[in-house]
Structure 1
């Protein structure tokens, strides 16, 4: 098992254990300094994982190979491919 995966699993186990960090380390034979290091890495990895929507900017090749489906409020659906984002924006405004 990957060391990071193992340590992250231990951290999650510690969170639900109700034990202090030092007591948990003592029970598992882990040096507290090593455990604190991995807790910091674990917290940083959680901060780097975005939640919700991400803004993406397609490059020009993607824009012309993309397919779009527009659904208007009146129920009309329009599927297009091979056009740029400016043309799609114009269709959205219809």
Structure 2
């Protein structure tokens, strides 16, 4: 029997895939979703959200502690588990580059 997904479920899958770090194909295989359906959902949801602000446009940041080995470095711990270290003078450029991802 074919499972039909509501628009909310489709969006949840799209959001979960974006955070997963997996390829679309790997995510779909793990979730039992056909790749063609997933592409269709993405096309439908992207067309309807062009005027809405991107949900991932905000990256939460907080200061944890100063790295005693590199006290001049700023480390950004991203929601996907990656970390980026840079000098404070480079922070603006790094944040701009991250916003393009």
* TM-score, L = length of structure 1: 0.49
Q: Which has the higher helix share?
A: 1
